[in-house]
Amino acid sequence: MSQFPLNSLPPDSSALRARVREFVAANLPAGWRRNSDFMSGYDADFSAKLGAQGWIGMTWPRQYGGGEHSYLERYVVTEELLAAGAPISAHWFADRQTGPLLLHFGSEIQRERYLPSICRGECFFSIGMSEPDSGSDLASIRTSARAVDGGWLVNGSKLWTSFAHLNQHMVTLVRTAPPSDKRHEGMSQLIIDLNGDGVEVNPITNMAGRAEFNEVVFTDAFVPRENLVGIEGEGWQQVTSELAHERSGPERFLSTFRVYVELIRLLGRTPAQHQAAAVGRITAQLMTLRRLSISVAGMLEAGQTPNLEAALVKELGNNFEKALLEMTRQAVPEQGDRGAYEAAYIESLLLSPSITLRGGTREVLRGVIARGLGLR
Ligand SMILES: Cc1cc2nc3c(=O)[nH]c(=O)nc-3n(C[C@H](O)[C@H](O)[C@H](O)COP(=O)(O)OP(=O)(O)OC[C@H]3O[C@@H](n4cnc5c(N)ncnc54)[C@H](O)[C@@H]3O)c2cc1C
């Protein structure tokens, strides 16, 4: 059964929110208007400035450069940055996933080596799970790591790897043992240097004309033993433990938020009744999703692994992000300066097919939810 305990952001979070807004206003170029999507802006300098504010690795221990803040404080920072369309792609995966993974399973050497520089906004990670014939069925991956003196030789390829052409490292799911009847065994996670020998990164242009994801090909790429994350052969359990972090945040329902903001700007203070109704409907759905997502942040804060609830947030949130486009289109006035609205709409429309693919497809999530609810 799913549970969404009622949760609220801490009372002092409005001061933090104000600081983030001030920071964004001071550090985004004038007239900056980008999608509220975590994939839509890669800017290492901006990440370094965020790092200097202490807004990367916010929940991590101080000894590794973190701020020991709560997940709910992190939530405030994340939603403000997303709402502003700030360029957060560079540090995104390291902050959301790699850090928690290393804190949970990484060696002390790995924590000391990577976490402080992730927090400073200098060290960026990609996530290497999907392969040409393995996306939803991740257990069918074929990229292999053959044990050699001092480490492994990796061969195979990864696909759709976000920002592998710009990031330095990738946490890569590989087979350290051949497939057997027990499909989920024999996989391991390795940290691979994306600029290393035997690693070729080929950017793929998406339909918006941007190169954001890649094919990554390994040909006898040597990975030292010390780059194994956690326990050899237990990569599957480790990967699935990341899912609640990956699927529940405000990025799962804010990707098209700017379209809604531009609609409200365009409608001004005197919308027609059907326009006001559309804004009301969108707002009600947005606020409901936000409560669900904040509830999951509270569960993460309590040390739980709410994978079912996170899958529900992603599935409902992704549907909302897509439906928002049509809901705004039906309310947009025929008169007035529609330029900013249309720019946001077109950018979001081109992004929209990926919304229900990345991080687990709609069908797969519904399967997870059905299983979690005992319906399957
Ligand atoms: C913008 C973007 C960024 C991405 N970034 C990354 C990244 O950084 N790292 C990474 O590892 N991956 C990344 N991915 C890959 C993403 O995780 C996969 O695309 C996704 O898991 C689906 O896998 P697939 O593309 O192989 O499709 P498939 O798994 O082949 O699915 C094809 C279709 O079949 C359906 N289907 C599959 N299995 C079932 C089933 N059992 N029941 C019902 N229907 C099913 C799916 O829902 C889908 O509609 C990214 C994808 C996108 C779009």
Residues 272, 358 share a domain: yes
Atom of ligand 1 lying closest to residue 93 CA: 8
| Residue whose CA lies nearest to ligand 1 atom number 13 | 160
Query: For the chain, how are helix, strand and coil distributed in percent, rounded to 5?
Result: 50, 15, 35
Residues 367, 276 share a domain: yes
Atom of ligand 1 lying closest to residue 361 CA: 47
Using the 8-state DSSP alphabet, how is residue 185 labeled? S
Look at residue 242 in the predicted model and tell me its pLDDT: 76
Q: What's the rounded Cα separation, in Å, for the pair 172 and 157? A: 10
- The label of the residue with tokens 């369309």 reads 85
CA of 250 to the centre of ligand 1 (A): 20
Q: Is residue 6, in this structure, part of any structural domain at all? A: no
Look at residue 305 in the predicted model and tell me its pLDDT: 87
SS3 of residue 134 by DSSP: strand
> Is residue 95 a contact partner of residue 114, using CB atoms and an 8 Å limit?
no
Picking from 69, 93, 124, the residue at the C-terminal end of a domain is 124
Q: Is residue 249, in this structure, part of any structural domain at all? A: yes
Residue-level pLDDT, tens digit, the chain, 376 residues: 778 998 889 888 999 999 999 999 999 877 777 788 999 899 999 999 999 999 999 999 999 999 999 999 999 999 999 999 999 999 999 999 999 999 999 999 999 999 999 999 999 999 999 999 999 999 999 999 999 999 999 999 999 999 999 999 999 999 999 999 999 999 999 999 999 999 999 999 999 899 999 999 999 999 999 999 999 999 999 998 878 888 889 999 999 999 999 999 999 999 999 999 999 999 999 999 999 999 999 998 898 989 999 999 999 999 999 999 999 999 999 888 999 999 999 999 999 999 999 999 999 999 999 999 999 8
Cβ neighbours of residue 184 under 8 Å, at least 6 residues apart? 139, 236, 237
pTM over 0.85: yes
| Residue whose CA lies nearest to ligand 1 atom number 51 | 358
SS3 of residue 72 by DSSP: helix
Q: Is residue 194, in this structure, part of any structural domain at all? A: yes
Angle between helices 13-27 and 44-53 (to 10 degrees): 150
| Residue whose CA lies nearest to ligand 1 atom number 27 | 135
Q: Is residue 5, in this structure, part of any structural domain at all? A: no
CA of 103 to the centre of ligand 1 (A): 27
CA of 356 to the centre of ligand 1 (A): 9
SS3 of residue 14 by DSSP: helix
Report the CATH number that the domain containing residue 318 is assigned in CATH. Answer: 1.20.140.10
Residues 163, 148 share a domain: yes
- pLDDT tens digits, 295-320: 999 998 898 989 999 999 999 999 99
List pocket residues of ligand 1, CB cut-off 6 Å. 126-130, 135-136, 160-162, 213, 354, 357-358, 360-361, 363-364, 367
Residues 136, 55 share a domain: no
Count of domains in the chain? Answer: 3
CA of 130 to the centre of ligand 1 (A): 7
- pLDDT tens digits, 181-192: 999 999 999 999
SS3 of residue 216 by DSSP: strand
Report the CATH number that the domain containing residue 109 is assigned in CATH. Answer: 1.10.540.10
Count other Cβ atoms within 10 Å, centred on residue 206.
Answer: 16
User: Of 146, 157, 149, 145, which is closest to residue 199 (Cα–Cα)?
Assistant: 157
Look at residue 312 in the predicted model and tell me its pLDDT: 96
CA of 162 to the centre of ligand 1 (A): 13
Instruction: Output the six-digit token pair for 91.
Output: 């540090």
Q: Which residue segment(s) compose the domain that 276 sits in?
A: 240-372
Classify each residue of 53-92 as buried b or exposed e, where b means 16 or more C-beta atoms within 10 Å of its C-beta.
eebbbbbbeeebbbbebbbbbbbbbbbbbbbbbbbbbbbb
Look at residue 289 in the predicted model and tell me its pLDDT: 97
Look at residue 97 in the predicted model and tell me its pLDDT: 94
Q: What's the rounded Cα separation, in Å, for the pair 376 and 372? A: 8
Instruction: Output the six-digit token pair for 240.
Output: 């699935």
Atom of ligand 1 lying closest to residue 133 CA: 26
Residues 365, 244 share a domain: yes
- pLDDT tens digits, 49-69: 999 999 999 999 999 999 999
| Residue whose CA lies nearest to ligand 1 atom number 21 | 135
Atom of ligand 1 lying closest to residue 158 CA: 11
Q: What's the rounded Cα separation, in Å, for the pair 41 and 21? A: 18
Residues 149, 273 share a domain: no
Cβ neighbours of residue 273 under 8 Å, at least 6 residues apart? none
Count other Cβ atoms within 10 Å, centred on residue 353.
Answer: 12
Q: Is residue 54, in this structure, part of any structural domain at all? A: yes
Q: Is residue 303, in this structure, part of any structural domain at all? A: yes
Picking from 211, 234, 257, the residue at the C-terminal end of a domain is 234
Atom of ligand 1 lying closest to residue 163 CA: 8
Residues 134, 193 share a domain: yes
Residues 42, 74 share a domain: yes
Q: Which amino acid is at 327?
A: M
| Residue whose CA lies nearest to ligand 1 atom number 18 | 135
> Is residue 230 a contact partner of residue 165, using CB atoms and an 8 Å limit?
no
| Residue whose CA lies nearest to ligand 1 atom number 2 | 358
Residues 225, 187 share a domain: yes
Report the CATH number that the domain containing residue 226 is assigned in CATH. Answer: 2.40.110.10
